[in-house]
């Protein structure tokens, strides 16, 4: 079976990639599968910079084609925060619950009409002898006043999607992939999937 390495240890993100690659007969590997010691410092100031940094660093270390994702939540009332700091907004321990609590506290006095936000995702693909490519996607929504739903991860329980009348965490995986920022980026990448996945790569 062909394999592709995703430069993440986040199983929630890995599941999003598996939804695309599994039907193609491609096994998704994370850093936990190939080398748990790899820890790339996200020093970029944009999603694009961080995605490229992770993809190229891990690809060079493993000598394989690697896909890296950098994504996060941009809240208009917070001047775009948490942005690239989404995973560690409340501290370096990267607690989803603490991050959500911080956002809700900061928006406590902000009216519904001003709680607009978006999820953004940038995927970078790097590999030996190839030029790094990026693919981006976004999803518009509103920050809910409380958690709702049990699915997804990260800020999904408070990210309300008006068109669906639900938070991301209330959507099924298929419903989420159809509208999510990562799903949009993955669909753009899928167009070039045959160029990205080379027979035998990742074995």
Q: Which residues are catalytic?
A: 70
d(CA 64, CA 31): 13
* Joined tokens for residue 202: 């990742």
The burial of 51, by beta-carbon neighbours within 10 Å (0-12 exposed, 13-18 middle, 19 or more buried), is given as buried
**191 in helix, strand or coil?**
coil
């Amino acid at each position: 079976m062909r394999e592709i390495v995703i430069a993440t240890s986040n199983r929630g993100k890995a599941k999003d990639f598996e939804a695309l690659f599994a039907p193609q007969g491609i096994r998704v590997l994370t850093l936990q599968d190939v080398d748990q010691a790899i820890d790339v410092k996200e020093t970029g100031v944009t999603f694009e910079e961080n995605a490229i940094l992770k993809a190229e660093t891990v690809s060079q270390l493993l000598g394989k084609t690697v896909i890296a994702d950098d994504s996060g939540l941009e809240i208009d009332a917070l001047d775009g925060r948490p942005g690239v700091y989404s995973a560690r907004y409340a501290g370096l321990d990267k607690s989803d619950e603490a991050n959500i609590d911080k956002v809700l506290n900061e928006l406590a006095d902000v009216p519904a009409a001003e709680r607009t936000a978006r999820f953004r995702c940038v995927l970078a693909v790097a590999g030996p002898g190839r030029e790094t490519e990026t693919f981006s996607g976004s999803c518009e929504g509103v920050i809910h006043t409380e958690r709702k739903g049990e699915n997804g991860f990260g800020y999904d329980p408070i990210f309300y999607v008006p068109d669906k009348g639900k938070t991301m965490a209330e959507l099924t995986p298929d419903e989420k992939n159809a509208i999510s920022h990562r799903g949009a980026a993955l669909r753009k990448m899928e167009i070039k999937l045959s160029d990205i996945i080379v027979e035998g790569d990742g074995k």
